[in-house]
Chain A
Amino acid sequence: MLNLKKKLNISHLFCVILFIWNTLYVIEAFRIAPPIQKGQVSATFFPLIISFLMYITIALVFFTSYNQKNVTATSFGQMNKPALVVLVTIFYITLFKIIGYMASSILYIFAIISIFEIKKKNILIKLFYAVIIAVIIYILYEKIFLIRLPKLGGNM
């Protein structure tokens, strides 16, 4: 049992996720239409072929990595900062239309700089950079490429 646990790694977990996705896709395909209707291929025929091939390749990757001796495992600890970036990006997308481009972008840039910084910097310096970058991108989109960005309250 312990041996099996040792052999299973994040690569297998990834295969399981792909397997679940593929199964959901197949279920959805059959929910839409059978692959052949009135003797002709339907809108789900081609996707089902792809799903079938996907099952084969997932199995291949799963068993190949099971037999591999030196599998480099990615620990969840390594994902702390990427997870933080995803989290702040979710907040950014949520706030983007509500508080407008400028305010949301300043906060977002400030957060990303803070995540990426190695040596602790003064908050005011980071805020200064955040404002400068947000203004430059604003000028780039709004003034040079004439693309409207949301203002405070969601107005364009």
Chain B
Amino acid sequence: MGNLDGIIQGFITFFNPSVGIYAIIGFIIGAFFGAVPGLTSVLAIALLLPMTYSMDIVSSLVMCMGIYMAGIYSGSITATTINIPGAPSAMMTAIEGNQLMKRGLGAKALGHAAFASMIGGTIGTLLLIMVSPYSVKLALMVKTPGKFSLILFALIVIILIQRKSIAKGAIATFLGIMFATIGIDTMKPLARFTFGFDILVQGIDMMSVIIGTFAISELLIQSGEIEKKLEISKDVLSKIRRKDFIPTLEEIKSIGLWRYFKSSLIGFFTGVLPGAGGSMAAFISYAEAMRSSKNPEEYGTGSLEGIAAAETANNAMCGGAIVPMLTFGIPGDATTAVLLGVLVINGLQPGPQLMTKQFHLIAPMFAALLVSALVILPITFYLLAPYFIKIVSINRGILYASIATVAIVGSFVSTFSVFQMAITLIFGVIAYFLRKQNYPTVTLLLGFILGPMLEDYFRRGLSLGHGSPLIFFTSPDSLFFLVLTVIFYYFLMIKKPMIMKEDLVQKKAK
């Protein structure tokens, strides 16, 4: 099946109401989780993960796409209204949006954020559709030693991108790799690292790690911060009127179509980078917009251009992050890491085979991402935005009691094992302490997912090279990724571009 035919077929499948409805459900769930500070689209997909067992895989993926797109965009709602980003990727939006809110232009800021998200999400998805056939061809060229070097490259970049603490990022990644080694060896029928407990022979279920790391740890963090109750005043609500949301043509022209397109490109390619995610996409785009702006003095005082740059990029990132996840099994950010879990748990193995022989399962996902950005986002925003901002005042006891129960029961239904429930709790506690000590938990999950692949290709590579590690330097594809790793190291660690100077730009904006 040609790629275009596959995409058209994907859209036909998506527009079947029994499938398309999941995108709307997912979008509303994602918007809810994105709008509540502390809750994220990652958590939403993690909680829904056990339910995907009994769902059709196409519907599951379509729903996840709705959550993904909505979760990124709706973080701008509380970022603007109460200066607390609902999602980390809305941090730059908070700087400009809240200034506009204080001037009584909150609805205008929200409208521009939604419009920019729509543009970014659409361009990012179109790029995903265009790039994916080439990325499959590229993936087919990479052999075993090259796959090792590619995953090594991904893990090193993921660690280097942890700007505030690279060493802590490395520790979390190593912990993830270590936990993944518990159970049966990847190449021989040998139980490893069971520490004398027979029950550990079955290994640690990915679902338990995902739910524990993202849901239980969040529950524990929030329980320690109960006094920080968020209320939204009636005064704020009265300032939000639906008719003020729509951006005028003049405002869009003043921002410039090139700005939207450039931010989309920045977002997309940042998304392709392993571990970068929406926050970095928004930040780089915002910094670039400020650098090249005709009115840089407006930044930090309520710049619509700044909102447009950040929101376009973080939604364009969604398409970019999916490319390495589908073709190489390397997630671009936390949400795609959990999404990878959805694929694996449902028996799909990312790689060129998935993108060619099982493309009929993936194409509706692309359609869902595009329709979510282009149609569902503006409609949902226009209809529900005034209600979404009230979500902040939700009863946290009821909210977190529901999340806790869904999370724990969810970890049970994956294996019908109380042991995996306990593992979920243990991972929740580990992730809680890691977060309290500023260790990134996303790298823990990525280490857990990529660790077994890294070891597998490492040992297979050595086997192909008759025990000599030189094969990783003589194989052209492997050498390419090793050189790429050195180049990234140079640019991220030695040259230190603007992405490493986030605090500096934030201070400047303030």
Nearest neighbor of B426 in chain A, beta-carbon distance: A86
| B433 CB-CB contact with A under 8 Å | yes
Task: Please determine whether A81 and B53 come into contact, CB atoms closer than 8 angstroms.
Answer: no
Chain A 29-43, CB-CB to B under 8 Å as 1, else 0, gives: 100110000011101
Does residue A11 face the partner (Cβ distance < 8 Å to B)?
yes
Q: Is A146 an interface residue (CB 8 A)?
A: yes
Report whether B437 and A14 are in contact in the complex, using a CB–CB cutoff of 8 Å: yes
Are A145 and B54 within 8 A (Cβ)?
yes
Asked if B406 and A118 make an inter-chain contact with CB atoms under 8 angstroms apart, the answer reads no
Which residues of A have CB within 8 Å of B220? 82, 85-86
Give the CA-CA distance A101 to B413 in the complex, in Å: 12
Q: Residue-by-residue, is A1-28 near B (CB-CB < 8 Å gives 1, otherwise 0)?
A: 0000000001100100010000011001
B312 at interface, CB cutoff 8 A: no
Residues on the B chain within 8 Å of A156, using CB: 416
Total contacts A to B, CB within 8 angstroms?
Answer: 166
Residues of A within 8 A of B126 (CB): none
* Closest residue of B by beta carbon distance from A60: B167
Known A97-B418, A115-B223; contact A90-B425, beta-carbon cutoff 8 A: yes
Residue of B nearest to A49 (CB): B458
Does A66 sit within 8 A of B, measured CB to CB? no
Verify A89–B408 contact, CB threshold 8 A.
yes
Closest to A147 in B: B413
A152 is an interface residue with CB less than 8 A from chain B: no
Q: Are A145 and B398 in contact (CB under 8 A)?
A: no
Bound together, the chains give a CA A66 to CA B431 distance in angstroms of 23
Q: How large is the interface on B (under 10, 10 to 19, 20 to 34, 35 or more residues)?
A: 35 or more
Q: Min CB distance, B350 to chain A, in Å?
A: 22
Is the beta-carbon distance between A118 and B226 smaller than 8 angstroms? yes
Contact with A along B459-477 (1 / 0, CB 8 A): 1001100010000000000
Q: Is the CB of B422 within 8 A of A53?
A: no
Query: Does chain A have a CB within 8 A of B436?
Result: yes
Complex: A29 Cα to B194 Cα, angstroms? 10
Contact A116 B174 (CB under 8 A): no
Is B467's CB under 8 angstroms from A46's CB? no
Could you tell me the distance between the alpha carbons of A152 and B2 in the complex, rounded to whole angstroms? 54
- In the complex the two chains form, what is the Cα distance from A93 to B410 in whole Å? 12
Partner of B177, one of A14, A50, A90: A50
**Bound: A109/B433 CA distance, A:** 24
Q: How far is the CA of A92 from the CA of B405 in the complex (A)?
A: 9
Name B458's closest neighbour in chain A (CB-CB). Answer: A46
Would you call A123 an interface residue if the criterion is a C-beta within 8 Å of the partner chain's C-beta atoms? no
Indicate if the CB atoms of B467 and A39 lie closer than 8 Å: yes
**Which residues of chain A (84-134) have a CB below 8 Å from chain B?**
84-86, 89-90, 92-93, 96-97, 101, 105, 108-109, 112-118, 129-130, 133-134
Whether B401 lies near A109 (C-beta < 8 A) is yes
Interface: B17 (CB within 8 A): no
Give the Cβ gap from B293 to chain A, nearest Cβ, in Å.
34
Contacts of A141 in B (CB 8 A): 51, 409, 413
Give chain B nearest CB distance to A110 CB in angstroms.
8
The residues of A that contact B222 with a CB separation of less than 8 Å are 116
B347 within 8 A of A: no
Residue interface mask A131-143, B partner, CB < 8 A = 1: 0011011001100
Contact in complex: B54, A47 (CB < 8 Å): no
CB distance from B182 to the nearest CB of A (A): 10
In the assembled complex, B348 has its CB within 8 A of some CB on chain A: no
A24 to B196 Cα, complex, angstroms: 12
Q: Besides A47-B455, A109-B405, 20 other CB < 8 A contacts?
A: A14-B433, A25-B178, A40-B463, A50-B178, A54-B178, A61-B171, A74-B436, A82-B223, A84-B223, A90-B425, A93-B421, A93-B425, A109-B401, A109-B404, A112-B405, A113-B397, A134-B405, A137-B402, A141-B51, A147-B54
For the complex of A and B, list the 3 residue pairs with the smallest distance between their C-beta atoms, beginning with the closest. A116-B397, A112-B401, A113-B397
Residues of B within 8 A of A (CB): 50-51, 53-55, 165, 167-168, 170-171, 174-175, 177-178, 181, 185, 187-188, 190, 192-193, 195, 216, 219-224, 226-227, 229, 396-398, 400-402, 404-406, 408-409, 412-413, 416, 418, 421-422, 425, 428-429, 432-433, 436-437, 451, 454-455, 458-459, 462-463, 467
* A to B CB contacts below 8 Å, 17 in the list: A11-B437, A39-B467, A47-B181, A74-B437, A79-B224, A81-B226, A89-B404, A97-B418, A105-B409, A109-B405, A118-B227, A134-B405, A137-B405, A137-B406, A137-B409, A140-B51, A147-B413
